[in-house]
Amino acid sequence: MKILVLGSGKMGSAIVFDLMKSKVETGVADLNFESAKNVAKRYKATPIRMDVKNDEKLVKIMKKYDAVISAVPYFLNYRLAKSAVKAKTHFCDLGGNTEVVE
């Protein structure tokens, strides 16, 4: 199984850490490529330079993964969910946008 984690901050790096323990092939994407590289090196993941606002590139990369976990700010998740539908991949976010759920 291949999982893409969007965001390499505290939450994203914790998710990559947990996935590493399960020996899941993991990509970690962030606009800050140095951060993505640091997390990837620490946890044996693949670093990806990614601006999650670039829908075309995002869908192209999502298609390479079985699932995507978003650890970016909640206000981006609606857009990311739509990209995951286009990519036909599973998508999970950490929540926080109550307007979308209501």
Q: In what order do the strands lie in the sheet with 67-70?
A: 46-49, 25-30, 2-6, 67-70, 90-93
Q: pLDDT, tens digit, for every residue of 17-72?
A: 999 999 899 999 999 999 999 999 999 999 999 999 999 999 999 999 999 999 99
Domain count, the chain: 1
* Least confident residue range of 38-47, 72-81, 82-91: 72-81
User: What integer pLDDT is reported at residue 96 of this predicted model?
Assistant: 73
Q: Is the pTM of this model over 0.75?
A: yes
102 domain residue, yes or no: no
10 domain residue, yes or no: yes
92 domain residue, yes or no: yes
Give me the domain span that covers residue 48: 2-96
The domain that holds 91 is classified in CATH as 3.40.50.720
3-class SS at 61?
A: helix
Q: What is the mean pLDDT of residues 68-90?
A: 96
- Alpha-carbon distance of 22 to 4, in angstroms, equals 14
31 domain residue, yes or no: yes
